[in-house]
Each structure stands twice: as C-alpha cells, then as structure tokens.
C-alpha cells in the first residue's frame, strides 16, 4: 500500500508541536505497513526530521506545475494526506483527477480560520468578545474539509464548532489529538525541591507565542517579581524575532534562551510552566509537554481549550492578570498543590492522549472508509459538488500561474 503525504513543510518535531504530531501520524501508517512518500516544495533546514532514517521517501515537488501530474500518476497512492488545507487547495484537484480512487485525508493541525480570526480580532480590540468566525478563510477551509473523505481534527472544541455551528457531517471528521506513547514515571523526574524557576516554550513563527511572551514581560512578570524578587523566567523557542530577543534582562530575571535541543531537560528542571495565551487554536504542545515532564502549568482559557476535558486542570486556568499572577506565585511555593497538579497531569495524559487507543481508532476508521469509499462519497454528495466546482476553477488558475511563471522564467 502506498501513502503520499503532501507536506506544508518538512516536519520539525524538536521545534513545533505540529512537527511532532506529523511524526506520530507517520508512525501509525508505518505500523500498518504502508510504503510512505513525503512530498513538499519546502526546503529542508537543520531542524528538519530525517525522514529517510525511518524509510520514508522525501520527494521534491513544485507548486502550480504540471510536473506533479506525472509524479502522482507514477506513484498512484491508495491514500493521500494533505498537511493543512492550503496544501489541499494546491494539489487536491490534481489528486482527484489522476487518482480518483485514492482516499483523501486532510490533517488540519488546528482550524486555521479560527486561529486567524482570533489573532486579527484580539490585535484590533484586545479581547475575543464578539468574534466573527464567518471569514473568507473559514469558507476556504471548510470547503477543503468538505472535499476530503476524512479530516483529522485535533481538538474536541473544534469538532463541536464544525458540527454544531457549520453543520459539517461527523462522518467526514475524526478526532485525533496529540498522542503520547511513553509515559514518564513521576518518581524518575526531579522533585519539587530540585526544580527552580518559571519557563515557557514555543515556536516564534507562531504569532500567539510572540504575543504571549510580550504579555508575560509587560503585564505578568513585573507583578510576580514584586512577590518573588529573585525568581527567574526562562523563554525557550526557535525563530525568535528581534522584539523577543530584546526582552532578555538578567537584572529582571527574564531570560530569553532560544532553541532548546531537549524539551525534557528544560521542562523537568523548571517548577512552573507559564503559558498566558491570549489567542490561538488547536492544542498547545507546551501544555502537553508540561504534563509529560511533570511541570504544572498556569494558562488561560484559550490555552486550556481542548486540553483537559472534564478533568481538573494540571495547574491552573485563569484569564485576568491578577489571577494569573496569584496562581503562579501560590503554586510555586505550595508543594502539596504542586504535586497534586502534577499527578492530575499524568491522569489526563493516560485518559485523553494515549497513543495506543487513538492510533487503533484511526486505523479502524481508515480501513472502514477504504472498504466503503463509494458509498461514503455518495453520502457526502455536497462534498463532491465542492470537488467538481473547485477542480474547474483551481485547474484554470493553476495553469494560468504556470504559464505566467514560464514567461517570467521561473
């Protein structure tokens, strides 16, 4: 069986949560015996995962170029995974034309339209009240979901949003959060007394992480230092822009440390993870890592969205500056509460993010779809209408861009 993954970028699991999720998804298909090809127009960088080390073929393709037609015809995959909806927009119509029987799966990572709407609204109004999610990006992303046979949705909140608000059929959606296969025993991690300082981590190509660190520095950290003058706040993450690097201030205990080659090392030596996110979507990799490495986290409602379910949080969830500061200071010094939060994190991981359970459900869902693909597509006839209309428009747009590029010598 051949699987083609069309990637937005080459996965960077040490840099982004999305990269780690993609590697986990690849692992599921490897367990099923697929011959996997990963194709992308993106260039590798030093943080890119060595896909060939796990027998994945890494193929270079071009956007808006008919050379992809020959590539896909020769490969002839049974399953195609699109990494984000923009990739499906570029290549989906070519897959439908040349490999009509291939199962088409969209991995949304998070709902891009929700993240962008929240970012735009927050930057303009300073809150998420009266948020308008009925945007052009929403139309494009939901159309992409409709065109695919199955879309992987990372958050229960986003599942309900698609089903209840946008009336997307649940038969076209599959809940697949982060998956954890190795659970660390708490007695093998540094204790409360062995840990020092606050920390946060995140890829700074992701604007919610930039905003969160700015919020920390300007609003939250000065208040924490009033109660804890010797406390330190360590900021980890790749691709930090100048405005983040300039926040480094040893006298204030605010330390911008850059990329962390070992998340385990920096998480497990810190006592608290501070993640005051004002906007964003999907699941937050830093909060998952905090639970994995036994580091209680202080976050906001946006940060906690989809993470904890009906369980009590693994730290504290607050939305005002006062409550965020109060929770951070109290949890830092309260050993009993800290250890209880740490234990809740373990329970949440095992009950909500277990790899074996989620991978098993995904394998069953995909195998059933492959067996009943014709009927599934008939039931999603509206999606076939989207596919037909999009194939015509994207086809001519792509050919126009290709011809334009030829004339410009690109």
For 299, the enclosing helix (H) or strand (E) is strand 297-299
Shared domain check, 190 and 171: no
Shared domain check, 327 and 237: yes
Q: Pick the last residue of a domain from 334, 352, 370.
A: 352
Q: What are the structure tokens assigned to 296, written together?
A: 């209680």
Q: What domain count does the chain have?
A: 2
pLDDT value of position 385: 78
Q: How far is CA 123 from the centre of its chain?
A: 21
- The residue with greater pLDDT, 410 or 235, is 235
Shared domain check, 220 and 166: no
Shared domain check, 167 and 201: no
Mean pLDDT of the chain: 93
What is the phi/psi pair of residue 57, to 5°?
-75, 125
Shared domain check, 168 and 21: yes
Shared domain check, 343 and 198: yes
What is the phi/psi pair of residue 354, to 5°?
-70, 125
Q: Pick the last residue of a domain from 317, 335, 352.
A: 352
Burial class (CB in 10 A: 0-12, 13-18, 19+), 131: middle
Percentage of residues in the chain with pLDDT exceeding 90? 85
For 324, the enclosing helix (H) or strand (E) is helix 321-333
Residue-wise DSSP of 213-249? HHHIIIIIHHHHHHH-TT--EEEE-SS--HHHHTT-B
Per the structure, the complete domain to which residue 254 belongs is given by: 186-352
Least confident of 221-230, 304-313, 346-355, 361-370: 304-313
Strand partners, 39: 6, 59
Whether pLDDT at 167 is above 80: yes
Least confident of 11-20, 102-111, 315-324, 378-387: 378-387
Q: Pick the last residue of a domain from 352, 367, 385.
A: 352
State pLDDT tens for residues 79-123: 999 999 999 999 999 999 999 999 999 999 999 999 999 999 999
CB contact set of 379 (below 8 Å; sequence gap of 6+) = 169, 171
Gap between the terminal Cα atoms of the chain: 35
Alpha-carbon distance values, 59 to 53, 73, 119, 175, 380 (Å): 14, 14, 34, 29, 32
User: What confidence category does residue 372 fall into, taking pLDDT thresholds of 50, 70 and 90?
Assistant: very high
CB contact set of 368 (below 8 Å; sequence gap of 6+) = none
Least confident of 199-203, 273-277, 388-392: 388-392
Which CATH number do you get for residue 208?
3.40.50.2000
pTM flag (> 0.95): no
Shared domain check, 223 and 140: no
State pLDDT tens for residues 288-336: 999 999 999 999 999 999 999 988 889 999 999 999 999 999 999 999 9
- The residue with greater pLDDT, 98 or 396, is 98
Shared domain check, 97 and 51: yes
> Cα angle at 370 between 369 and 375, to 5 degrees?
60
Give the Cβ contact number of residue 355 at 10 Å: 16
Alpha-carbon distance values, 167 to 19, 161, 257, 305, 386 (Å): 29, 9, 45, 21, 15
Shared domain check, 115 and 9: yes
pLDDT value of position 207: 93
Shared domain check, 208 and 137: no
Shared domain check, 341 and 197: yes
Shared domain check, 379 and 337: no
């Amino acid at each position: 069986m051949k699987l083609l993954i069309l990637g937005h970028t080459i996965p960077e699991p040490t840099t982004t949560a999305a990269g780690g999720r993609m590697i986990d998804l690849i692992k599921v298909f490897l367990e099923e015996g697929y011959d996997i090809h990963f194709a992308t127009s993106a260039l590798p960088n030093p943080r890119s995962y060595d896909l060939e080390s796990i027998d994945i073929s890494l193929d270079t393709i071009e956007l808006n170029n008919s050379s992809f037609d020959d590539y896909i015809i020769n490969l002839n995959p049974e399953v195609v995974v699109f990494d984000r909806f923009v990739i499906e927009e570029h290549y989906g119509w070519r897959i439908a034309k040349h490999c009509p029987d291939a199962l088409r799966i969209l991995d949304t990572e998070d709902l891009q339209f929700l993240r962008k709407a929240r970012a735009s609204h927050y930057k303009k109004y300073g809150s998420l009240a009266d948020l308008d999610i009925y945007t052009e990006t929403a139309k494009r992303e939901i159309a992409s979901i409709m065109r695919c046979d199955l879309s992987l949705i990372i958050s229960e909140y986003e599942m309900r949003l698609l089903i209840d608000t946008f009336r997307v059929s649940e038969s076209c959606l599959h809940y697949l959060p982060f998956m954890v296969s190795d659970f660390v025993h708490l007695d093998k991690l540094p204790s409360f007394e062995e840990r020092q300082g606050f920390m946060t981590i995140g890829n700074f190509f992701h604007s919610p992480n930039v905003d969160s660190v700015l919020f920390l520095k300007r609003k939250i950290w000065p208040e924490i230092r009033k109660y804890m003058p010797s406390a330190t706040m360590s900021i980890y993450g790749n691709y930090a822009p100048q405005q983040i690097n300039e926040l480094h201030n040893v006298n204030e205990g605010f330390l911008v440390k850059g990329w962390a080659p070992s998340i385990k090392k920096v998480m497990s030596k810190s006592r608290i993870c501070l993640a005051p996110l004002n906007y964003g979507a999907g699941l937050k990799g830093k909060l998952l890592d905090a639970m994995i490495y036994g580091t209680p986290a202080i976050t906001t409602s946006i940060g906690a969205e989809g993470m904890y379910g009906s369980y009590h949080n693994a730290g504290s969830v607050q939305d005002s500056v006062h409550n965020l500061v109060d929770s951070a200071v109290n949890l830092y010094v309260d050993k009993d509460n800290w250890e209880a939060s740490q234990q809740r994190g373990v329970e949440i991981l095992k009950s909500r993010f277990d790899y074996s359970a989620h991978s098993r459900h995904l394998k069953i869902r995909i195998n059933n779809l492959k067996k009943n693909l014709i009927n599934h597509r008939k039931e999603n006839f509206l999606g076939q209408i989207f596919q037909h209309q999009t194939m015509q428009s994207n086809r001519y747009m792509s050919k126009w861009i290709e011809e334009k590029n030829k004339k410009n010598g690109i």
